[in-house]
Structure 1
Amino acid sequence: MKKLTFIIVNLIISQCYALIYELNGSDYSRMPAVFHFDDYDHCLTNPDGLYCTVDINVVSDTPSELYSLMQNYSEYNNKHFNHTFLRHGVCVTRSCKRFLQNTTKPITYSNTDTENAELKLVIEECLNDSLWNNYELKCRVTAPLYCNEREERQKDSGDLAVGVFLLVLLTLNVIGSLYDAIFVRGQNKPGSGNGVLLCFSVPHNFSRLMRPYADLGPREQRLKVFHGLRAMTTLGVIHCHSLLPFAIAPENVLFVENLYNNMANYIFLNGTIVVQTFFIMSGCLLSYKLEMLAEKREIKWTLLPKILIITWAKLTPSYMVVLATSATWLRYTSSGPFWKLVVLREVEDCRADGWSHVLYINNYLDPTQCLPQAWYLAANMQLYILGYCTFVIIKSPKYRKVALTILFIIGVVTPMAHTYFQNLEAVVMMTPEAVRSFLNNPTFHHVYKRGHTNIANFVLGIALGFLIYRLQKNEVNIQKYKKYRHLFLLTVPAILGTIIVGSVFYIDGIYTSVYTKAIYSGLIKPIYGVILAILVIGCVFEIENVYRPILEWDGWKLPAKLSYCAFLLHVAFIRIATGSLRTLMPFTYLLVAETTIAFIVLSYLAAIPFWLLVDAPLTELLQKILTGKLCQTETKVIPENDLTLKNNVKVFNSEEGNASV
């Protein structure tokens, strides 16, 4: 009886809101294709060939049963594409040849929308003719147009400047490597030599990359669980971003929409919460390393500027190289029907908004496609500053607890406030339409990527670091809690549960109030953080022996050390591959797996030379400049950066300035 009542209520709601949850195959096939692309290469074999990727709003001047069907089906946007909003690739010089002949002057493409008005009208007339003949519908082409012509891309002063810098950097690596091989290693004088040249020595940096962590103390050794967490989380991030080619232009739209009917897929659809792992590790390592430093020296407020500058310097050099390359040479790497939409938009945005990345405030700049994955770096830097200030300025452990409690409450309340007052979604909804135009997602902008909305788990991480340090220092006998080891086994299922529970917001016919969304958005992150913190404690103190061997596997050390470089590079590879597509992507589980593995392998393989030639030498050189060690001849290695994506469980001393994991 209850089931029957639920079905009746659903039918009533569907009629009231004119929603269509499902269509049979015959009705679905009546609708125009959401994505369609003419042959790109064939189009441009003509020297005068013009190919345009356009967004189309389908309209109807007269009552249309098909148009109403499309509207009602698209209205349920939790699982459906907007079938009244199409993306087509049109070979204008072939498909619209008849309409081009009706113009009074030759039509060319310009980078200015106002100058493309006549071209837009031609494409609109062409598509209207096709839509009317096949569906008795019309359309309006929306700006901007993304057209590809056979034209030489002119290099400018910015391109040349970045090219010269990269060439100088490569030359320095060659000189430094030869100097190391001939005058240091060749004469068997390890630990000596010119410090500047050795920064750019590939053998020297390779030894740093492969160096084991045998010099760590027993307490720091127990934090090696973070190697596995860091590497696995980075792999998850690359996997999610690898879906861009399938999201921007899938061939089998119905298959994509049906993915939302399989509960197992919500592990990936709601998997964005796993990024909170980085914030928890960052907060934990910050408090832990500062407590270790406090054993050796008094931490005064005068140390704060030095810590902040060195923290900025350790993260920035390789980040800025990727930023500069994305703003210049990235646009010359390939071409395709999606090239201007996917790649050139990032180039333009990086030229306009690159300054915000230098200051680490890019996560408050909306919307921009310049290195969108770098929102995390900005948010984490902001939280690092907050954490440093809290630790250094507030000396009393009692007042620190009060301050952290207040910050935690702020971290819980702010996502609630944004969700309630701005009427946002409870989670970043990975709906088909939201994924197609992801950077226009208000929940992503106002809740997901801001620094102040991620405070809760960073503070939880700080508390976790304090707890681990105190338990280790006081030599508390944790083994007595081994009788609860079976409870620790529940942590991974519980983490999966926090991901799966978000699927409730996708269920057909269920309406969630803004109050429910606000409460969920404020609590889900700290709940995930608490569960992960319990897992970390179980691993650090060897309470459980199921997840710990996996996370502490030595094989994670090298991927963890390269994670920062892979994180910076992987989106560029994905953009190039997506922009180079010549046709639509068939969405199949096998092809998704192959694509994901390919991007992961490519990102980590590219991360090795990037680390050796760019990240390691520039970071070490800048650290030596800031710490006044530029003129030293010894080759003592300065520890790696923290910020979670850069590695080595290493505690800084008074001379080295900052620790890192």
Structure 2
Amino acid sequence: MRSNWRRLTAHYEDGDPRLAALTPLQGLRVFIMLLVICLHSGLFYNMLYTHNTRSFEYMMKLPIMILARNGTSLVQVFVLMSSFLLAYNLLLHSKTHPLGFHMIPKIWLNRIIRLSPLHLMTVGFAATWWPVLNDGPMWYVVENSAGACRRKFWTHVFYVNNLVNPDDQCLLQTWFLAVDMQLFLVTSVLTLLLARWRDRALRVLAVMVVASSIVNGLLAYYFEWTPMLYLMTAEHYRTRYRGVPSFKWFYASPWGSLPASLIGLFLAFLHFDLQEKGFKAENHKWLVRFYHCTIPLVFYFVISGAFIEHGTTRLLGALYVALERPIYSIICTVCLFGMVNNVDNIARRFYAWRGFHALGRMTLAALMLHWLLELSLHAASPMPLAHSYYGFTYDYVATVTLTYLLSVPFAVMVEIPFQRMFAAIFA
């Protein structure tokens, strides 16, 4: 236990400088996770009974709420970082060991050991003990979710819960773990393949990013998928997007996140090649200026959705579906590139704070637990929920605090022991 705690809270700034440069990614994980919890907090006021059903609808129409209505692409940062770290670590490994497809079983098993214990424990708890912990007039929502977890447990074992009967939802956030695993299998093979022809890797990946974006646009036009911006309504919150093709066949699909995953691979190959050539980002003023502008650009890109929010043409929707995630991912890629190349600014210093290291390592636990905690707190209420800004803030702070407090024992007693076991077996 003590050893696992030290592993959770360890700092590695004094180790390999190439790996030490990645420390801001832990802070970025925490920041994105806090935003995800915030966005999910708003769902519960429509999933359950409320005193005034119009209050939340009025709030969502406020101009500032475009950040929530058009902010769903923020999870693409997780996809981007996942593929970047996979490819970059493999490329670093190639400096001392030859890469080959014989590594695939070990790479895949490592990922399964990384995600499955905590994932399946949470889904198993939701399927069994969760519905009997409480009761009340709104507890039926928990019971319905638990029933879905029992019916679809096997799909979570094989990470296909987002593809097999996607309308029967267990825990809403688990679609991301399925997408992450599906893309991991693809990108690991692609990384090993492109590592043999590194001089062609960037061109191949650039073509694949463009091609995957075009295919998503064509699929959106053919099947009449609409951007999530158009679907952020109280009715869709209430049903958790059941029966909405755009959510289950694009937003929660692996092909919907494929461009971001490929952009992450592009960043890994680019960063590694430039490092090998002795590239110094601070010597390129245009790049430094662009890097400093990325966070405002992300903000402006999100609020720019207000200009097309009321556009309803089929072609406009397809174009937005095709371009939104890739453009968002490219802006975030420039930001990540500057961070991992030690280009200093306030954001990098903030994300590199030591306090984020342990919290960043608990991101998986926080992702799995926050939904259980907040839904339990709201569904246990014996009366309709009273929506207010104060109440929303109170619920959000309470959920974040409880989530990370509960994540500590899960990380120390479940997640880290399995990782150490895998490392010991394959040492």
Output aligned runs, 1:94-493, within 5 Å: 202-214=1-13, 216-248=15-47, 249-340=49-140, 342-365=141-164, 366-394=166-194, 395-428=196-229, 429-440=231-242, 441-482=244-285, 485-493=288-296
2:52, 2:386 within 8 Å by CA — same for their partners in 1?
A: yes
CA distance in 2, matches of 1:546, 1:587: 35
TM-score normalised over the length of structure 2: 0.94
Output aligned runs, 1:10-49, within 5 Å: none
Structure 2: gaps (5+ residues): none
Match for 1:578 among 366, 378, 381? 378
The residue that corresponds to 1:548 in the other structure is 348
1:257, 1:432 within 8 Å by CA — same for their partners in 2?
A: yes
CA separation of 1:528 and 1:315: change in aligned 2, threshold 3 A: same
Dislocated runs of 4+, deviation >6 Å: none
2:191, 2:265 within 8 Å by CA — same for their partners in 1?
A: no
Deviations 1:29-59 (A, max 9, x none): xxxxxxxxxxxxxxxxxxxxxxxxxxxxxxx
Match for 1:610 among 382, 399, 410? 410
In the TM superposition, residue 570 of structure 1 has moved relative to its aligned partner by 1.0
The structure, 1 or 2, with the larger RCO (C-alpha pairs under 8 Å, 6+ apart) is: 2
CA separation of 1:222 and 1:623: change in aligned 2, threshold 3 A: closer
1:338, 1:580 within 8 Å by CA — same for their partners in 2?
A: yes
1:251, 1:585 within 8 Å by CA — same for their partners in 2?
A: yes
CA distance in 1, matches of 2:296, 2:199: 35
The residue that corresponds to 1:499 in the other structure is 302
Q: Percent identical across equivalent pairs?
A: 26
SS in 1 for 2:372: helix
In the TM superposition, residue 505 of structure 1 has moved relative to its aligned partner by 4.6
More helix per residue: 2
CA distance in 2, matches of 1:522, 1:560: 31
In the TM superposition, residue 496 of structure 1 has moved relative to its aligned partner by 1.2
Structure 1: gaps (5+ residues): 1-201, 628-654, 656-661
CA distance in 2, matches of 1:295, 1:258: 57
In the TM superposition, residue 446 of structure 1 has moved relative to its aligned partner by 1.0
In the TM superposition, residue 618 of structure 1 has moved relative to its aligned partner by 3.2
Deviations 1:82-104 (A, max 9, x none): xxxxxxxxxxxxxxxxxxxxxxx
1:360, 1:381 within 8 Å by CA — same for their partners in 2?
A: yes
In the TM superposition, residue 362 of structure 1 has moved relative to its aligned partner by 1.1
Deviations 1:94-126 (A, max 9, x none): xxxxxxxxxxxxxxxxxxxxxxxxxxxxxxxxx
1:412, 1:456 within 8 Å by CA — same for their partners in 2?
A: yes
Deviations 1:435-486 (A, max 9, x none): 1112313211011111112110111111111122222222113222246544
In the TM superposition, residue 578 of structure 1 has moved relative to its aligned partner by 2.5
CA distance in 2, matches of 1:302, 1:542: 34
CA distance in 2, matches of 1:284, 1:317: 23
More strand per residue: 1
Deviations 1:313-350 (A, max 9, x none): 2221121111111110111111111212x111111111
1:234, 1:567 within 8 Å by CA — same for their partners in 2?
A: yes
Deviations 1:240-297 (A, max 9, x none): 1122331223322232222243211111222211001001111211111011010011
1:411, 1:456 within 8 Å by CA — same for their partners in 2?
A: yes
Structure 2 letter corresponding to 1:335: D
The Cα RMSD (Å) is 1.8
Output aligned runs, 1:58-73, within 5 Å: none
CA distance in 2, matches of 1:519, 1:408: 15
1:251, 1:586 within 8 Å by CA — same for their partners in 2?
A: yes
CA distance in 2, matches of 1:506, 1:595: 29
1:338, 1:579 within 8 Å by CA — same for their partners in 2?
A: yes
CA distance in 1, matches of 2:219, 2:412: 43
Structure 2 letter corresponding to 1:417: L
